[in-house]
Amino acid sequence: MIPQRDIKGILSSIPYYSLNPYVNKCPSCGSVMVIDGEWVREDNRHRVKLIERSLTCPNCKVRIRQYIYLQ
Residue 35 belongs to what domain range?
4-70
Instruction: Using alpha carbons only, give the angle 49, 50, 51 rounded to the nearest 5 degrees.
Output: 125
**Per the structure, how many domains does the chain have?**
1
Residue 9 has pLDDT above 90, yes or no: no
Q: Over the stretch 17-53, which tens digit does the pLDDT of each residue have? A: 544 656 788 888 988 888 888 888 887 787 888 888 8
Q: What is the pTM of this model?
A: 0.63
Which of 23, 26, 27, 28 is CA-nearest to residue 38? Answer: 23
More confident residue, 32 or 15: 32
